Structure 1
Amino acid sequence: MTSLYDHAGGDEALHRLEELFYSKALADPVLRPLFPKRQPHHVRNLTWFTAESFGGPDRFTRELGFDHLIRVHRGLNITDEQRQRFADLYLESLDEAGLPKDEPFRRAIQEHIDFGTHVAQQNSQAKTEADLHPLREVPHWTWEGDND
């Protein structure tokens, strides 16, 4: 079966998606506290993470490592409203980026975003190591969800 990465259109399509989403996040008043200014490598890092999650190259793990993801979320104290706005803007960006609209693909993306925003929110509010979500590697998402 084709990976989500290949079905989405590979790096080019995912980079387009992440750039559109990131521009929306930077301009959004609810997300502005989480994205106060454009970071030069943020779109690249988001693309690497999504690509690896969807069955593409493992650049995120090799170049940054999952600990990087934990560190950048710690202390952000993501609210429920921010978590939902992130998900809404991300899903909105799918159409603008021209990603496939078939229901199985969109369901897999929705589940991935729901899971990822939950992990990010939990890690953002963690006061101790024990409070962190137990996930310690990039999840490998398939048509049936997280296979880790």
Structure 2
Amino acid sequence: MSTFYDEIGGYETIRRIVARFYQGVATDPVLRPLYPEADLTGAEERFRLFLVQYWGGPTTYSDTRGHPRLRMRHAPFAVTPTAKDHWLTHFRAALDELVEDGTLTAEQDAQFWDYITHAAQFMVNTFDETG
């Protein structure tokens, strides 16, 4: 049985999306302070493995980190509506790049974007933008 992960090109497609996303995060004045690590490599790897597993690829994320528990893992960080919007901006740019080069179809892009926008909204944990 084919999964969405297989349909979009597997690991390499997810790797490209996440790498492009973190290029934006690295210089974003709102998002970068939310990442305590000096090097974003660890965060990039965790996100990549999560998306691989979510879309039907290998379960390496859960095998190494346990249940995703996304809200709990993000609770120490002020995920505001502004942070969510910045996050979505960089993710949109990553998806657009793969749509433009033909890696993702419009339907695949829509399916990915639908999940990402819902997940981003779910992660908002404060409306205090002064933090």
- What is the TM-score of this pair, normalised by structure 1? 0.71
Measure how far apart 1:103 and its partner are. 2.3
* Larger helix fraction of residues: 2
What's 1:24 paired with?
24
For the pair 1:119 / 2:122, whether they are aligned, the reply is yes
1:6-51 CA-to-partner distances (Å, cap 9, x unmatched) read 1221111211211111121111112122235323322221111111
Question: How many residues were matched structurally?
Answer: 123
CA distance in 1, matches of 2:8, 2:23: 20
Q: Which residue of 1 is the match for residue 76 of structure 2? A: 75
CA deviations on 1:98-119 (whole Å, 9 max, x unpaired) are 5634222111111111121123
RMSD: 2.2
- The code of the aligned residue for 2:122 comes to V
| Map of 1:43 onto structure 2 | 44
Q: What letter matches 1:63 in structure 2?
A: T
Query: Which 4+ stretches in 1 moved above 4 angstroms?
Result: none
Q: TM-score under structure 2 normalisation?
A: 0.79
Unpaired stretches in structure 2, ≥5 consecutive residues: 127-131
